[in-house]
Structure 1
Amino acid sequence: MAQTLRDLGRPLASGNEADVFAYGDILLKVTKRSNDSGPATHEARILAALAPLGLAPRVDGVIEVDGHWGVLMERIHLPVMASALSDPNLFPELLELMVSLHGRIHAVTAPPEVPALKQRMATRIGRAERISPDLRSALLTQLTGMPDGDRLCHGDFHPFNILGLDQHARVIDWLDATRGDPAADVCRTELLISTYDAGMAQSYAESYCLATGVERRAVEAWLPLVAAARLAENVPDEFDRLVQLAQGGTLG
């Protein structure tokens, strides 16, 4: 097996936080942070907890390569859901599947060692430099009054992180998993999808609320906070829109 990052070859996929490499017949997801085992250990713990539910890839351990830590996990040979959602004949069925998967995640009581959603959100809002100090202070005050919750929240749930088009679908990329209020997690999903399909985003949030009994206004109440927290992720194309949403704008 490879012992250096160079030996791993070209990544199969690359994101802001990690690169994913083929590693024999499994995958190795390597964090871009050096000398920090925390993200890999955190994601491995989440994957292990989800194994009995069939929601996520099987985890095979955590290793260090050139000072970078990575999670060894099952390689899933299933289509990415996003590639099929453009088919109007498949859309209703896939939307229902997305809602079902998200609901199954939220049915799980998060392990106590999983970070609190509100704590992570407060940290990110504190790093959001593109909003004024007064708005940042107001948002942090608003955050303290929001529900805490103890449900498992994925943190990055969207069609590009779902593999499969039926009941065997799996959800990947659990690095941002937290413990909190499902409405906040749904709001995050709606915001992410709205960057490329506003209609799909709205349909998703409304379908989730209808299926689970979560109030639509409970999801909408998280929007300024979710938008401000996303500013800390440094996505330049979204800066102006996220600032507007943090100031109380709407997705519609």
Structure 2
Amino acid sequence: MELIGTGRDADVFAYDDGLVLRRNRDGRSSEREGALMVRLAGLGYPLPRVHSVRGPEMVMERVDGPTLGAELFAGTRPAEEGAAILADLHRGLHALPWPGAAPGECLVHLDLHPLNVIMTGGGPVLIDWTNAREGRPGLDVAVTVLTIAQVGLADDDLRDVLLGFLAEFVVRVATPYAAELPEAVAFRRANPHQTPAEAALFDDAVELTRRWA
């Protein structure tokens, strides 16, 4: 199979006409994630349709288009437009009915950043639901801000773009997250896929996230 994409913990291969296969490199099962994605598709949320899951492999709809991050970096998508798209994805997800969630909680993605948003001809599609679970909306927003702050501070070439984007995002998302910031910090600190530069600047990113809260 042709390798067409790779992330920090999974690889994506061309599988069949209109389909891709994503394989987790650590061998963890994709079955919980696949079931969650099927449920979300039934609610009309924009994400790839799942065809089958077997252990660490998931076959799903191929979604073509640049990422929102690629558009921001290339200057083809203004920061304010990108921020509005990301804020709308948060709001739409958090507004979905999710039976079983505790009062005040909803489904949260916990990796909702511009590189996980594919800009298709039909609109944005959100990928990579590995971390998704029930939680408070503010936790999702806090993780988004902290993740982007880390990447922006750690990469001199992207710093101005990402921090400018964040300044627009925190205005548009409207969801308060100060109360959930400690949980977001613990969640992100435990992420094993941070680069050395991101880990070294973790405390600086936390302080920046706190100032925007």
Q: Highest CA radius of gyration, 1 or 2?
A: 1
Given that 2:51 and 2:60 are in contact with CA atoms closer than 8 Å, whether structure 1 keeps it comes out as: yes
- Counting only pairs closer than 5 Å after superposition, residues 135-154 of structure 1 correspond to structure 2 as 149-154=104-109
Match of 2:197 in 1: 237
The answer to whether the aligner puts 1:227 opposite 2:185 as a matched pair is yes
Change (3 A) 1:30 1:89: closer
Aligned to 1:169, the other structure's residue is in SS state strand
Change (3 A) 1:220 1:32: same
Q: Offset of 1:244 from its aligned partner?
A: 5.5
Q: Equivalents in 2 of 1:24, 1:227: separation in Å?
A: 40
Number of residue pairs the alignment of both structures matches? 195
- Counting only pairs closer than 5 Å after superposition, residues 84-233 of structure 1 correspond to structure 2 as 84-86=71-73, 87=75, 90-110=78-98, 112=100, 149-164=104-119, 168-194=123-149, 195-196=151-152, 197-209=162-174, 214-215=175-176, 219-233=177-191
Q: Offset of 1:83 from its aligned partner?
A: 1.7
The answer to whether the aligner puts 1:80 opposite 2:67 as a matched pair is yes
Q: Offset of 1:165 from its aligned partner?
A: 6.2
Q: Equivalents in 1 of 2:20, 2:77: separation in Å?
A: 33
Change (3 A) 1:240 1:221: farther
Letter of the 2:41 partner, please give it.
A
Q: Equivalents in 2 of 1:54, 1:199: separation in Å?
A: 28
Aligned to 2:107, the other structure's residue is in SS state strand
Match of 1:62 in 2: 53
Aligned to 2:87, the other structure's residue is in SS state helix
Change (3 A) 1:51 1:100: same
Change (3 A) 1:61 1:174: same
CA RMSD of aligned residues (A): 2.5
Q: Equivalents in 2 of 1:244, 1:100: separation in Å?
A: 27
Q: Equivalents in 1 of 2:183, 2:140: separation in Å?
A: 12
1:24-54 CA distance string (max 9 Å, x none) = 12111111233x43xx011111210121314
Q: Equivalents in 1 of 2:39, 2:112: separation in Å?
A: 17
1:100-143 CA distance string (max 9 Å, x none) = 1221111123354xxx8xxxxxxxxxxxxxxxxxxxxxxxxxxx
Q: Equivalents in 2 of 1:168, 1:244: separation in Å?
A: 34
Aligned to 1:85, the other structure's residue is in SS state helix
Aligned to 1:19, the other structure's residue is in SS state strand
Q: Offset of 1:98 from its aligned partner?
A: 1.8
Given that 1:80 and 1:161 are in contact with CA atoms closer than 8 Å, whether structure 2 keeps it comes out as: yes
Change (3 A) 1:20 1:148: farther
The answer to whether the aligner puts 1:30 opposite 2:20 as a matched pair is no
Q: Equivalents in 2 of 1:22, 1:180: separation in Å?
A: 33
Given that 1:59 and 1:72 are in contact with CA atoms closer than 8 Å, whether structure 2 keeps it comes out as: yes
Given that 1:148 and 1:180 are in contact with CA atoms closer than 8 Å, whether structure 2 keeps it comes out as: no
Change (3 A) 1:89 1:30: closer
TM-score, structure 2 normalization: 0.80
Match of 2:37 in 1: 47
Q: Equivalents in 1 of 2:186, 2:126: separation in Å?
A: 25
Q: Equivalents in 2 of 1:158, 1:245: separation in Å?
A: 15
Change (3 A) 1:227 1:242: farther
5+ residue gaps, structure 2: 153-161
